[in-house]
Amino acid sequence: MQTLIEAIRLPNEGFLCIVDASSGRLVCHPQIRRNPALKQMAAGLELLSHGDFSKRIIELDSANDPLAGAMPMPDGIHLIAVRDLAGLGAKVIAHQREAGVAAAIERMIKPVRAVGVTIALALVGLTTLLTTAVAHRYDNKLATVNASLEQLVARRTESLMKTRDAVIFGLAKLAESRDNDTGAHLERIQSYATLLAEKLAERQPEINRAYLKNLALASSLHDIGKVGIPDAILLKPGPLTPQERQIMQRHAQIGGDCLNAIVQRLGEDDFLAMARTIAYAHHERWDGAGYPSGLREEAIPLAARLVALADVYDALTTERVYKKAMSHLEAKAIIVAGSGSQFDPEVVAAFLSREAEFQRIAEAQSSPHAAGQQPPLAALHAAVNAGGV
């Protein structure tokens, strides 16, 4: 093990040592052959006590409970990671000089200087993962770390995106289970809202490719609050009474609160923030007569104004157990009549410029061959990813 420790070279002037778990005395150290007196040192006692380090950085959350922190040393601050060597009564400690880490960050991460601390923590975390390999394969040399920091960040981002998309899918499926038409409805709402946003991008600088991607996903959660509405009201085959309508209107507050709870747990995120505002505000009206908050005009978030029109158009042009589907021209007349009262006039203008696409999507869902067609949203996603807005 001493030979292995001497052979290992960590990035940024780093090294490994092994200490006795009970006494904290050095067992293996890169310099111990040349300086046997190091065996008398018990520098690991403070680390082994799990007390606060003089400059605590973080406690890494993993199955094996490793620790990471910072300690003042004769040559400056060292970033330190500690892990048990199971069954050996010892612990492995990885050192990296803070100055070396800072220099590496300066060379590689100038474009993202503001997140330098996070990058340093990622390096400490990567070093901790490498010490795990020492614990389980101490008869082999530690694998050389060749992947760049940019690749590490890309992998972490991809993992987070997959997790987010899985949550979206689960929530959308939850709503779908309450209404047989919800799945197709969600696809059409995504398509309609994206069409409107693409048109408004000519005058709204906040609408870019990221905005369009977030809108397509976030719009699918606009009615997630309906999971809290009783079936007797949600699936009623006829007009609602005033009292039933009040209960039905609670879905906007329920859905917004649900997504807000997720934001509070996971932290602010552009997608979750948009989904939350859409859920809360997609039934607000331009004239302030909507619900649940009575917002008016531009106090209503743009994404919610887009989904509001898309939702009404789809409701008008689809058949329900209590009504027949309207034609595109009938639905168009109602939307135009609501410009300046129910709807943002600018969003209505965008609808009129894209009404041919709206009509094609609406008619495709009523076609006997519609089940075999590619969802219209797929073509829109392709256009966005190809470098559109």
What one-character-per-residue DSSP string does 323-382 give?
BPPPPHHHHHHHHHHTBTTTB-HHHHHHHHHTHHHHHHHHHHHHSTTGGGSPPHHHHHHH
Share of the chain above pLDDT 90, in %: 34
Q: Mean of the pLDDT values across residues 335-354? A: 97
pLDDT over threshold 50, residue 376? no
Three-state DSSP class for residue 79: strand
Q: Mean of the pLDDT values across residues 132-154? A: 60
* Cα distance from N-terminal residue to C-terminal residue, the chain: 58
Residue-range domain boundaries for the chain: 2-146, 158-385
Predicted local confidence at residue 139, as pLDDT = 52
pLDDT over threshold 80, residue 118? no
Residue that wins the pLDDT comparison between 303 and 14: 303
Predicted local confidence at residue 179, as pLDDT = 62
User: Which of the four pLDDT bands, split at 50, 70 and 90, describes residue 297?
Assistant: very high
Q: Mean of the pLDDT values across residues 27-51? A: 70
Predicted local confidence at residue 146, as pLDDT = 57
Residue that wins the pLDDT comparison between 134 and 343: 343
Predicted local confidence at residue 149, as pLDDT = 73
CB 255, CB 225: distance < 8 Å: yes
Q: What are phi and psi of 325, to 5 degrees?
A: -75, 140
Q: Mean of the pLDDT values across residues 111-138? A: 53
Q: Mean of the pLDDT values across residues 218-240? A: 88
pLDDT over threshold 90, residue 234? no
pLDDT over threshold 50, residue 53? no
pTM above 0.75, yes or no: no
- Residue 65's contacts (CB-CB under 8 Å, 6 or more residues apart) are none
Q: Mean of the pLDDT values across residues 84-93? A: 79
pLDDT over threshold 50, residue 116? no
Cα distance between residue 188 and residue 126, in whole Å: 44
Predicted local confidence at residue 207, as pLDDT = 95
What is the residue type of 258? C
CB 265, CB 241: distance < 8 Å: no
Picking from 157, 87, 161, 156, the residue whose alpha carbon sits closest to that of residue 125 is 156
What is the rounded (10 degree) CA torsion for 5, 8, 12, 15?
A: 0
Q: From the centroid of its chain, how far is CA 234?
A: 30
What is the residue type of 19? V
- Report the range out of 34-38, 163-167, 188-192 with the highest average pLDDT: 188-192
CB atoms within 10 A of CB 233: 18
Structure tokens at 13: 């002037």
Predicted local confidence at residue 60, as pLDDT = 33
User: Which of the four pLDDT bands, split at 50, 70 and 90, describes residue 377?
Assistant: very low
Average pLDDT, the chain: 77
Distances (CA, A) of 319 to 69, 108, 209, 362: 62, 58, 33, 11
Structure tokens at 250: 């609670």
pLDDT over threshold 80, residue 382? no
Distances (CA, A) of 361 to 288, 349, 374: 30, 18, 11
Picking from 30, 92, 33, 101, the residue whose alpha carbon sits closest to that of residue 70 is 101
Predicted local confidence at residue 358, as pLDDT = 96
Predicted local confidence at residue 381, as pLDDT = 41
CATH number of 2-146: 3.30.450.20
- Residue 64's contacts (CB-CB under 8 Å, 6 or more residues apart) are 83, 84, 132
Predicted local confidence at residue 344, as pLDDT = 97
Task: Quick: pLDDT tens for 1-32.
Answer: 889 888 887 876 788 888 887 777 888 888 88
Predicted local confidence at residue 310, as pLDDT = 97
Helix (H) or strand (E) holding 20: strand 15-20
Residue that wins the pLDDT comparison between 70 and 195: 195
pLDDT over threshold 60, residue 43? no
Sign of the CA dihedral running 44, 49, 54, 60: positive
Fold of 158-385: Hypothetical protein af1432 (1.10.3210)
Predicted local confidence at residue 133, as pLDDT = 56
Predicted local confidence at residue 147, as pLDDT = 61
Predicted local confidence at residue 156, as pLDDT = 76
User: Which of the four pLDDT bands, split at 50, 70 and 90, describes residue 383?
Assistant: very low
Picking from 153, 72, 140, 64, the residue whose alpha carbon sits closest to that of residue 105 is 153
User: Which of the four pLDDT bands, split at 50, 70 and 90, describes residue 350?
Assistant: very high
Structure tokens at 36: 């046997």
Picking from 101, 7, 89, the residue whose alpha carbon sits closest to that of residue 44 is 89
CB atoms within 10 A of CB 314: 23
Residue that wins the pLDDT comparison between 266 and 315: 315
Matching CATH topology for 2-146 and 158-385? no
Q: Where are the alpha helices (DSSP H) in the chain?
A: 2-7, 45-48, 98-108, 116-136, 149-176, 182-200, 209-218, 231-234, 242-266, 270-281, 302-317, 328-337, 345-353, 355-366, 376-385
